[in-house]
Structure 1
């Protein structure tokens, strides 16, 4: 480990001064009865030699003593993670040393707390993945075992159970596909095919795709106003359609019956537009907002699973928007509604 050695002479100075005064006074008492000009010069020379000798010996020994032991401590602690504390300065100044060790301990404490948070997140994530995969797997297995136990002889039962098993397989495929997409987005392995397109037209297409789904809950998909002019943006059209679809599906899924989901497109700055999706659904409690875009994170641990989905929709949205180097925002009031918004580059 490379270290920077910071010297301080205070301890050696004070200690050498004390030793020199003591020995000089002792010599002075010894030669008290032999006082002469020669003896005075002798005591003065003795004091200088004693001081210099004491100073350099004490400074060297203290430096080596503290240096070796503190270096050993740093080396041992650095085995945990050398990158977290950088290159510490070793010093014989105890005040500085205490401050540096205190700062080092505080950094380690923060690091340990961060690791605990990460560990809890990892455990929760693995638990969520296990649950999401286990449910459709057990469903498929249950129907297949029932068929193997003799139910396949009944043609009507066989067809019904095979259809249900197929839905379980489709759900598994959907989850794995979404996980694969998020992984590619995170490592930058998913190339974006940017093009110039009319965002108003794209939103209308998504409205058409989700018309039947929204109709089942009597939710009205609409714009905030009549857009007579086109608004062109520069982005990956297919991915932005997926973003709009995921956000609107979420709005329908958690929206109130006879509710409304409203989309607006506004100029943000000179070269940016912001797309807002506002609903008057059940809303989200503030405690959930910071974790809303995590994989498999669900606000309602029971009810949301009944609604289906992979639990990855919002996480995919976040990654797609960030892949465009844009921002996504969420605001919500529980019992009143939610607003999701994201920025896009305006096309020239």
Structure 2
């Protein structure tokens, strides 16, 4: 009998393996290119490699002792499959928040002070916010590299000491007590403490406050300074000035005291316009500074340089008029500030 013998060679078996898995490669290539989330893409890649290995193993088992074809062998002789990571990176998923590129800077501001630091939706606005953005720009940060963090008055030193923020720009008066634990650049504005009362209420002068309840916020020096001038006051403290305004509007308190910039901002809100008035003149001089961590002399000097540029190029006056009104409404002859803190 004439018999024909087929001799199997490794090259022949590899060609058969390629032929058998070709449909699988095509299908998995489509999966890998389909986009979607990074998790889904990485899963597809793992499935692809598993299917390739399984198919190659099957072709080897069918042939007995021929070498196993695997994905790395195929990529050496055939067109490579598209990269799963490249596919994922070409389909970024938007989180709905501004994209921050490069290094970022965290700045503490207020979120509840109209005209100074107010958050509406996802946007922070106000004089302090504009000053912070300008200074950050001089330090090399674009607006989309700035992250504003809400900082209550009583937490301002803590967030600086812990490194949670790089600087605090939040109606932060420069005082010797604060300078003992942090450093401050500036001032960038000279405000004055005043008192806000209801327009149609019984209080018209500071002396009328005797025996009444006056609101301020925890961590502020305002009530203590007013009490030194007007004895017989009862203190009411909240964490935020906005809570004081609500209490003043509903009659729970008789007055609130803080810087005239803050009080004017609240009085000018549409829902309160005409309902409040300022009394008592200017009780103190409040020099708004920018708080930084103790010992950061280099940053202090850079900030002071930025503040001088802000005044010189007209940005300071533009920011004041935009957010607070005519600078002449505030402490006469005090603005813009000329004498800045010495960084040491």
Which is richer in strand?
Answer: 2
Structure with the largest fraction of helix? 1
TM-score, with structure 2 as normaliser: 0.23
TM-score normalized by the length of structure 1: 0.23
Q: Bigger radius of gyration, 1 or 2?
A: 1
